[in-house]
């Protein structure tokens, strides 16, 4: 397939992954972490993260890490960093509202923090020269 089509498909996967992350995470907060539905929603949340990071990987791999793909991946990772940070802040603050499970808030907030830290790590590694 041409590189432009791969890039377009990866950008569609990126947007879909971020949409899944933003829409699905609030549903985790009202469930207890030992419910079966919580596990299904968490699996969808993880799938959204995989789609978002997969787009970064595909564009970096297709263009062999040249400068243009690194700039595109930089902006994609910034979007993941913002979405993960926003998701974790929303999860940790929602403990004060009624109807939320404290343990589920901690689990969802921790996932957002780890997602943001992974994006931050890859932002740093994006511009470190390989040896």
- 127, two tokens: 């511009």
- 72, two tokens: 């595109």
- Provide CB contacts within 8 A for 47, sequence distance 6+: 17, 20
CB atoms within 10 A of CB 124: 9
pTM of the model: 0.88
Residue 28: the pLDDT is 84
Tell me the C-alpha distance between 100 and 94, whole Å: 7
Domain extents for the chain? Answer: 3-126
Higher-confidence position of 120 and 30? 120
Cβ atoms of 53 and 80 closer than 8 Å: yes
Residue 123: the pLDDT is 94
Cβ atoms of 28 and 42 closer than 8 Å: yes
Tell me the C-alpha distance between 50 and 112, whole Å: 13
Q: How confident is the model at residue 79 (pLDDT cuts 50, 70, 90)?
A: very high
Tell me the C-alpha distance between 62 and 7, whole Å: 8
């Amino acid at each position: 397939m041409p590189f432009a089509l791969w890039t377009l498909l990866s950008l569609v996967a990126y947007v879909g992954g971020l949409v899944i992350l933003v829409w699905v995470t609030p549903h985790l907060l009202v469930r207890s972490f030992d419910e079966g539905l919580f596990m299904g929603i968490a699996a969808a949340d993880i799938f959204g993260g995989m789609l978002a990071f997969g787009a970064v990987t595909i564009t970096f791999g297709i263009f062999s890490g040249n400068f243009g793909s690194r700039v595109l991946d930089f902006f994609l990772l910034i979007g993941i960093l913002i979405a993960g940070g926003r998701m974790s802040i929303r999860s940790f603050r929602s403990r004060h509202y009624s109807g939320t499970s404290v343990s589920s808030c901690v689990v969802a907030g921790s996932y957002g923090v780890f997602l943001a830290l992974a994006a931050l790590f890859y932002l740093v590694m994006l511009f470190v020269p390989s040896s």
